[in-house]
Amino acid sequence: MFDAKQLSDEQVSQVRQWAAEGGQLADIQKRLEEEMEFRLSYMDTRFLVLDLGVEIRNLAQEAADKEQAEQAESPDSQDVAIQESELTEEDIEVLPPVGAGNVKVSVDDIARPGLMASGRVTFADGNGGMWYVDEMGRLGIDPEVEGYQPSEADILAFQRKLQSVMESR
């Protein structure tokens, strides 16, 4: 087992700097070996970091948190939130999705292996594929044409029709 006392003050400050720069445990472990010739296991590196009181930063998470905070503080987002909260049901007009009536859904009598339910869907533009509900309850579509993305209106119509068909069974 490696002891933090084996590191000089300069080496300890170097480890702290690596962590401050966003280095993760694996990065610190690699740099300890390459730059200081200390070959440590991942667990020993973790214990070393804990012994030194070094905080491992997640720069990606920090950036996402900062962006989210900036968006929350921006006057535009506050104006939109106020405007949305002032809307009443009379102010909102719901239009039927374009082409949504042309979505066709069928359900397999016997679900495919490993699935709770399955069937076929044909969207308004004629493209389609297999739909399924996996054992975790997640709905998915396996399109016939690779890379095909149905329109949002078609997806909403598909979900409504599927729910209706499943409730009637």
Amino acid at 105: V
Residue 14 has pLDDT above 70, yes or no: yes
Q: Are 51 and 88 in contact (CB under 8 A)?
A: no
Give the ranges where 8-98 is alpha helix by DSSP (H).
9-20, 25-36, 42-52, 59-73, 75-85
Q: Where are the domains of the chain?
A: 1-82, 100-168
Residue 44 has pLDDT above 90, yes or no: no
Residue 127, token pair as written in the block: 């493209």
First-to-last CA distance in the chain? 63
Strand (E) or helix (H) holding 125: none
Q: What is the chain's length?
A: 169
Give the rounded percent of residues in the chain with a pLDDT score beyond 70: 82
For 113-157, what is each residue's pLDDT tens digit?
889 899 999 998 899 999 999 888 888 899 998 888 888 888 888
Q: What is the pLDDT of residue 74?
A: 62
Residue 12, token pair as written in the block: 């300890």
